Structure 1
Amino acid sequence: MLRQDEFEQLIARKLGLADSAVAGGSRLHEDLGLDSFRLLELCLYVIELGVDLSEANWLEIETVDELYSRYRAGPPTADTRAQGAAPAGVGVGGRPLDGPAGLAGRGMTGAEAAATAGTAGALALPPPRFAGRFLRLMPVLPASTPFLYELAVTPEIGFRWRYRGSVPSYPQFEQELWQGVLTQFVIESIETARPVGHAICYNPEFALGYAYVGAAISADYTGSGLAVEALDLFVRYVFDIWPFRKLYFEVPEFNYPQFAGADRGNSAGGALEIEGRLRKHDFYRGRYWDRLILAVYRDSTDGDAR
């Protein structure tokens, strides 16, 4: 087992930080500056080290000290491993949305390869994946509407999401729920089976091969990085089902720090590119903010899908 100073050095090197930048009291988000993408990368990395880390555990961790305490608790038991095992095709330690559409380096799972070999040339393709290690995508049903409405109007989330802080009536929200939407899912916790977020694909342009995507997550998940797992599943799903070349995220400038770790301008392994900037487009708290248009491509590593 690593001593705490060795553990801190390992974390620092994994994150590309100076050893001196990581101390026991360092807060993962505020002090180390980890955005959602890098937080999930760290979460999967420490699980790979053998840490018994459930969704509830991860949501409680704020500092390197607390992360080291989980490490010292030892590896998961056989029962815990079975309950928390990643579904087929989910690589522990793999970085979501790295490489084109988050698909770079994802080979066939053993089950997929066996199924393909066993068909003696017949077409055998796996279904889309709807579940990760912590979160899964669930259909939007009539019973989902109250949760989605609450998510859209709650003060902590509403100003960043669909209505930008305004509060529609419930009948208006119901009427507009599928307006312009190609597909959408409720994001659900695997551990608790409760709804925690919303993912949508909207304004598709089939002739030109693009659409827009977005996601929102409950306030108690903000800053955990877990939302990235659901977003990665959703982007893969959309690319699996429809022949889009790329997907756009419309991001108010004050939301951009949550995406910065996946921006190719900041990380060579990132999958997102800033392709547009609408100057002073959104208004919030007494000032105008730019709106950024980020794109994730299906197959290209140079941002040019041909």
Structure 2
Amino acid sequence: MISADEFADRLSKSVSDRFGNADFGARLGADLGLDSYSMLEVYALLAEMGVELQERDWLSVGTLGDLYSCYRAAASGGMEPGPPVDLPSGSLRASGRIGSPGPHGSSSLLGPVQPMGSPAAPQSARQPLLPVDPRLSVVDSSRELPGALQPPQRAGRFFRLAPVLPPAHPFLYELAVSPDVGFRWRYRGSVPSYAQFEQELWPGMIVQFLVESLQTGEPAGNVICYNPDLGLGHAYVGAAMAGRYSGSGIAIEPVVLFTQYLFDVYPFRKLYFELPEFNLEQFGSAVGDRLRLEGRLIDHDYYRGRYWDRVILALYRDEPLASLHGRDADRVDGSTES
């Protein structure tokens, strides 16, 4: 197990030099400027150090101190974070306490968006919204021929992509109209009737999935591919996750899974992300690295008393989103190869 100073030094060298002068009370998003794409770099670094955090760990991390606390707990084999440690003086000032609340306090982590009229089930009783026969997911590797084609990957380290069937519609409606997500998503803050939402759920789509948590089985988000042009080889992609995943880093995993699925199944050359500029802060560090800025509509969208540009980003087949700054992360489960 490495010390607090060594931990911050590795983050500074591999992810962002802002870690070098940060105290342990520094918030990963608001103070250190990490978005979901940058947080994947943190995940990759921890994986290289032999530590893999669970979904609940990522959702509890709001500060550098929280991150180190989770690292200590995982590295020592403990199930819960260890007690607060005495922070070294110098570059890592002891003004933050390990184990502090999330980015906006403990109340910022929203519970699952429940289908209307459905009470939350106890944690131990929760089942996937769309149960899958376990026999369908069992692959007998002994029967595979050398070089045999593999099915497209629809499960990662934290999430899986499930078909959108009628039982998922209430969750998807709640996601579309929830206060913390709705203004960024399909209806931009307006609230359609449930009947209108169901009527508009599939037109224009070539494929969409419900995102489910592998740890809890709960619905977590929605990924969509729409307005495809198979002749020219492009389509548009959108994604939304429940508010509790905001800024966690793992929220981008379903996007990685989904875009790779689209490139595997369809002859797309590139995929477009069209979004209001205020959404760009969630993964802006990927622009210029894997996402190319290919269009900008000036003052196209309105929100909160001002007009915002709409930007069009492109992801190319030969530059997959899963490859992060020189690390071989073609597997979205966080494993790496030297």
Same fold (TM over 0.5): yes
- Segments of structure 1 that go 5 or more residues without pairing to the other structure are 80-111, 265-269, 302-306
Matched, 1:41 2:41: yes
1:279 corresponding residue in structure 2: 298
- Partner Cα separation in structure 2 for residue 19 and residue 127 of structure 1: 40
- Partner Cα separation in structure 1 for residue 6 and residue 319 of structure 2: 38
Residue by residue over 1:14-36, the C-alpha shift from the partner in whole angstroms, topping out at 9 and shown as x without a partner, is 11315643322221111110011
Q: Map residues 286-297 of structure 1 onto 2, 5 A cutoff.
A: 286-297=305-316
Distance 1:76-1:242 versus aligned 2 partners, 3 A rule: farther
Is the 2:237–2:271 Cα contact (8 Å) retained in structure 1? Answer: yes
Residue by residue over 1:115-155, the C-alpha shift from the partner in whole angstroms, topping out at 9 and shown as x without a partner, is 89x736xx611100011111111110100000000000001
1:143 corresponding residue in structure 2: 167
Is the 2:18–2:32 Cα contact (8 Å) retained in structure 1? Answer: no
- Partner Cα separation in structure 2 for residue 183 and residue 294 of structure 1: 20
Distance 1:300-1:227 versus aligned 2 partners, 3 A rule: closer
Is the 1:40–1:224 Cα contact (8 Å) retained in structure 2? Answer: no
- Partner Cα separation in structure 2 for residue 74 and residue 180 of structure 1: 45
Is the 2:290–2:319 Cα contact (8 Å) retained in structure 1? Answer: no
Where has structure 1 moved over 2 Å in runs of 4 or more? 18-23, 74-79
Q: Sequence identity, in percent?
A: 54
1:84 corresponding residue in structure 2: none
Is the 2:8–2:20 Cα contact (8 Å) retained in structure 1? Answer: no
The alpha carbon displacement at 1:286 in A equals: 1.1
Is the 1:50–1:71 Cα contact (8 Å) retained in structure 2? Answer: no
Matched, 1:134 2:158: yes
Distance 1:300-1:133 versus aligned 2 partners, 3 A rule: closer
The alpha carbon displacement at 1:51 in A equals: 2.9
Distance 1:65-1:138 versus aligned 2 partners, 3 A rule: same
1:187 corresponding residue in structure 2: 211
Matched, 1:256 2:280: yes
Distance 1:198-1:74 versus aligned 2 partners, 3 A rule: closer
CA-based RMSD: 2.2
Is the 2:19–2:32 Cα contact (8 Å) retained in structure 1? Answer: no
Is the 1:51–1:70 Cα contact (8 Å) retained in structure 2? Answer: no
Determine helix, strand or coil for the equivalent of 1:28: coil
Is the 1:153–1:165 Cα contact (8 Å) retained in structure 2? Answer: yes
Q: How many positions carry a matched residue from both structures? A: 260
Is the 1:134–1:191 Cα contact (8 Å) retained in structure 2? Answer: yes
Structure 1 counterpart of 2:192, from 161, 168, 178: 168
Distance 1:244-1:75 versus aligned 2 partners, 3 A rule: same
Distance 1:201-1:51 versus aligned 2 partners, 3 A rule: same
The alpha carbon displacement at 1:263 in A equals: 1.0
- Partner Cα separation in structure 1 for residue 29 and residue 297 of structure 2: 28
The amino acid of 1:295's aligned partner reads A
The amino acid of 1:243's aligned partner reads P
1:199 corresponding residue in structure 2: 223
The alpha carbon displacement at 1:77 in A equals: 5.3
The alpha carbon displacement at 1:166 in A equals: 0.7
Determine helix, strand or coil for the equivalent of 1:182: strand
1:208 corresponding residue in structure 2: 232
The amino acid of 1:272's aligned partner reads L
Is the 1:52–1:76 Cα contact (8 Å) retained in structure 2? Answer: no
The alpha carbon displacement at 1:53 in A equals: 1.4
- Segments of structure 2 that go 5 or more residues without pairing to the other structure are 80-138, 321-338
